[in-house]
Every structure is written in C-alpha cells, then in structure tokens.
Structure 1
Amino acid sequence: MTSLVAPDTIEAFRRDGACVLRGVFTDWVQTLRDGVDRNLAAPSADVKIYQGKDGAGRFVGDYCNWDRIPEYRDFIFNSAAAQIGRALMGSRQVRLFHEHVLVKEPGADVPTPWHQDQPYYCVDGTDTVSLWIPLDSVPRERTLEFVAGSHKWGKYFRPERFNKTALNENDGLEPVPDIDGNRDKYQVLGWALEPGDAVAFNYLTLHGAPANRSKVEQRRAFSLRLMGDDVRFARREGINTSPPFRGVTLAHGAVMDAPEFPLLAG
C-alpha cells in the first residue's frame, strides 16, 4: 500500500494537510480530458457557472457525474487513486464521496476563495483526502494553495459559494480569516504542476486559488474526494450541503455504506 506513496509524502500530508504527488496519473490525463469534454457538453443540473467580468472566460464547476460519464468511472475504479488515498489516510477501507470538475477558461477572473471543503459536506470524520489532478500545466501563480496545518485547528469556517455569497445564512460559523491580507502569518503551500501530477489534501485544510488571468491557457482540474475508516454520514437539518445528495437515506452517524458511495478499497 505505502509503496505507491513515499513515507515523507505521507508524513507531509498528515502534518500539513496537503502534499504534492508527481506524475502519479500521467497515464490517465487523456482519459480524464475526454471525460471533462463529455461533461461540459452535457453538464448536470447542479453545474455552477461563474462568468468573468466584461465577458471574460467562465469558471465552470460540476460534480457527481461518475455514474454517467464512463471516463470518470474508469479512472475511479481502475486507477491507483484509491490505493494512494488509502496510503495517505492510513485507512483500511476507502469509499468514493464524489468527483468534482473545475474548469477556468482563459481570462476567467473569478478566484476560488479560501475555504475548507468539509463544512459544505454531509460528512463528519478526519480520514479524508481530495486528489486534485490538473489536466493542463499550472504555473505557481495560478495554482491551488493551502494553509499548512489548518486541518488541525479544530474549526469549521462558514461555507460560501465561489461568488462569495453564503451557502447558509446565519449558520453560526465564523468567517474564513483573511489569508491573502495576512500571508506572512501563515505557511502557505503551493506547487507548479504538470498534467498527471496531483495535490492531496484533507477536507478540513484551508485552500484557495487565484483567477486565471491568462488570455490563452485554460485550467482544467479533476478532483476526487475519498473517505476513510472514521467518516460518518452527517445530517445537517436546515442546512444546505454541497453536493446535496438528495436521495441518500442514511441516518445521522451511519457508516457511508450506500450506492452513492461505493467501496473502492478494503
């Protein structure tokens, strides 16, 4: 299991809440690009499209399409992603939570604001990992960034949509701190990336990404959300979750054993 991921990479992931994995999915890049093309041609009802200012490029996000897009399904069930996630989390079992595709077209001047993923989700637990896989070259100035160690702060910050509107008004959660205005107070991690690299991060790690100000280069990314041994279903009454998982019938606190969350390893 651990032979797929170097021990120092596992240590960095658990210490910092984020790490980089070089070239681990190079053989899957074209498959995922084909899947993204299929997805964009026929997005789901939950697609989010943020238009840049003055007709600039779009920022498109869509999720939970793995059961209808064969390229996604092929990658999820046949790549080494689950085993890499298993090694990073130290879990016996790995389940799929969902996949999330994020496309910033050339000139998409909509940044990804600093946020944690878990406050959006219908899950509790700490054995979590997202594998964010770029399908285009991503220079350091356009890459996803992370606040090292923020997954251990013991906090849930207020979730917002990527256009900065609150996902849930008056949810009682504190706002995300001003990372960009106080970068010297934090250890901010980020890496220039090539197609087939991946960054792995915990659902509680604060992260964000700048706008794509390139006039010619897009930034396509496929993100796979995986769950380990201690993750349980969380019913948040009166609270919107994203993805909504409208048809899931699990009870609060239940093991994530449902058709929507297939077992990938263990």
Structure 2
Amino acid sequence: MTISGQLPSLDDERILTAEQIADYQKKGHAVIRNVASQQEIEAYEPLISSWVRKLNNQDKPLEERDTYGKAFIQIGNLWKHNEDIARFTLAKRFAKIAADLMGVEAVRVYHDQALYKEPGGGHTPWHQDQIYWPLDTDKTITMWMPLVPVSEEIGSMTFASESHHLGYINKLQISDESHRTLGGFIKGRGMEEVNYGALAAGDATFHSGWTLHSAPGNPTDHMRKVMTVIYYADGITVAEPDSNARRNDLATWFPGLKPGDLAASPLNPVVYSSK
C-alpha cells in the first residue's frame, strides 16, 4: 500500500553559501544542519525502518560477527523496494546540495544505503568508500543523515581532512587491517581529524568518496539509524574494475554496463540538474 499522498515533498532547493562549498572542497567533508525537518524525518523514518527490518537477514549475535558485521546492519537500494522511500532517496533537495558541494551541474544516484548501528555495535574502521566503486573520478559524494538524534556519546563519523586530495590510497576494504593501516597513515601525515559530534535527526554530513573516515561504536541502548545516499557527477564513465570489490559493485549497481560505458543504468537516474 502506498502512502505517498501523506509524505512531505523533499524537492525544494536549499541554497548553500560560498563558504560552505569552499570549505567542503578544501576539507572533503561538511555538516549541513536541518537538511530535513523534524516533521519530514518523523514521516519517513518509520517507513525506512520497517523496510530495514523486513530486508535484514543478519541473524548472528553481535559477538559472533567479524568487525565489519559488528559495525552496522546494511541495506542497499531501499528506493527500489518502495516508491515512498524513493521520494526520499531521489529527493531534489538532497541532490542539489550534493551537486553544489562538488561544483557540478548534474548528479546521478549510485545507490542508497541504510546503516543501522545496533546497541553495543562496534566501530566502523577507517576506510575510503570509493575503493568499492568502479568510477574513475573525484566527483563522488555521500550524504549521511541520521533518522534519530545522535548523541555526543555516539557522535557522527570522524573524517581525515584533505585526505580526498590524495585520491586512491590503497585497496584495503573495511576491516581491522584498514583501521590499523589507515589510522597509522593519518597519524603519520599529521592529518586533522574532525568529528561533528551530536547531530539532530535530519542534519547531514557530506563527504567525498576519497575522504578517509571512520565511526565510533554504539555504547547506548538505542539503535543509531542512518540513511545514506551516494551521488556522482552525470557524464562519468564506468572504470575498469581493479578488485573483486569493484567487480561486485559493477555487477550490482551498474547492471548490464561494462568499462567505458556511460555510468547510467536504470538504477542510476539523474536526480538533479541545473541545465
């Protein structure tokens, strides 16, 4: 059953300042407050959470999982399961912010991803998102939006400022090894580490696909509910996958495409264009 008529529209445009855009492009990350209002989050959160519960197939207790498994419940492309969630994932408001921060005219969705960190859930190790994506570009960005208040005790993600300027650092997937190796790399380079602390539901951080980042564990009794949407500039081509992770992503998120093709499968609609 659809409830589209009852859901608030998210297609108005948010205007960013020149300072916000310049700061993002320098550091590779930003926080934008009140990207979605409390009323909007209250409308969408129960719907998203119900589909996370429905699609979650993680049945191992936390203590029996590896580091990646302890980090979060991870459900991708929720928008393809429910047309009401599609209103959230494909929202013009969010997409325009992403386009403006990257300084591009139009963006496509790579995919959405619910990341729910359970009570007692573990930390998310240091990593670069884009090691998974078969895209040879620096024009990628992730919106990370909590659907519930995130207390100072949990905090938001921690970013290594300006690390995105280094591009592809290594192929380490999210693991104890990536946390150890990339954490040492950050310390060795003397990079600034930034955590935006407590966030209200509907605030959002944005970070480049190449920005090194991590997240603390969840020591509280409450689920940390986060919805993410990944965007990339329109006009990008599919890169030759150089790892199993990228080969898997190519098959999953760019079905039917091959290296050199325009990165534009039916799963990757244009969600904002200034043209």
**TM-score of the two chains, using structure 2 as the length reference:** 0.80
Aligned length: 252
The equivalent residue for 2:209 is 203
The answer (yes or no) to whether the contact 2:148–2:224 under 8 Å persists in 1 is: yes
Query: Unpaired segments of 5 or more residues in structure 1?
Result: 167-174
- Measure the CA separation in 2 of the matches of 1:16 and 1:51: 37
- Measure the CA separation in 2 of the matches of 1:211 and 1:50: 18
- Measure the CA separation in 2 of the matches of 1:206 and 1:82: 22
The 5 Å alignment of 1:184-263 reads 185-191=190-196, 192-214=198-220, 216-229=221-234, 231-236=236-241, 239-241=244-246, 243=249, 245-246=251-252, 248-263=255-270
- In the TM superposition, residue 165 of structure 1 has moved relative to its aligned partner by 7.5
Q: Which amino acid aligns with 2:20?
A: T
Query: Unpaired segments of 5 or more residues in structure 2?
Result: 1-11
The answer (yes or no) to whether the contact 1:48–1:62 under 8 Å persists in 2 is: no
- In the TM superposition, residue 253 of structure 1 has moved relative to its aligned partner by 2.6
The equivalent residue for 1:172 is none
Q: Percent identity?
A: 23
The equivalent residue for 2:25 is 14
- Measure the CA separation in 1 of the matches of 2:165 and 2:189: 19
> Could you say what the CA RMSD is over the residues aligned between the two structures, in angstroms?
2.9
1:58 and 1:228, CA in 2 relative to 1: closer, same or farther beyond 3 A?
Answer: closer
1:69 and 1:3, CA in 2 relative to 1: closer, same or farther beyond 3 A?
Answer: closer
The answer (yes or no) to whether the contact 1:114–1:208 under 8 Å persists in 2 is: yes
**TM-score of the two chains, using structure 1 as the length reference:** 0.83
Q: Which amino acid aligns with 1:207?
A: H
The equivalent residue for 2:85 is 72
The equivalent residue for 2:8 is none
Higher fraction of helix: 2
Deviations 1:179-228 (A, max 9, x none): 68x399220111121100000000000011011011x2221100100111
Structure 2 residue matching 1:42: 3-state secondary structure: helix
Which moved further from structure 2: 110-119 or 241-250? 241-250
The equivalent residue for 1:102 is 115
Deviations 1:128-159 (A, max 9, x none): 11110011222344221100000001333223
1:249 and 1:239, CA in 2 relative to 1: closer, same or farther beyond 3 A?
Answer: same
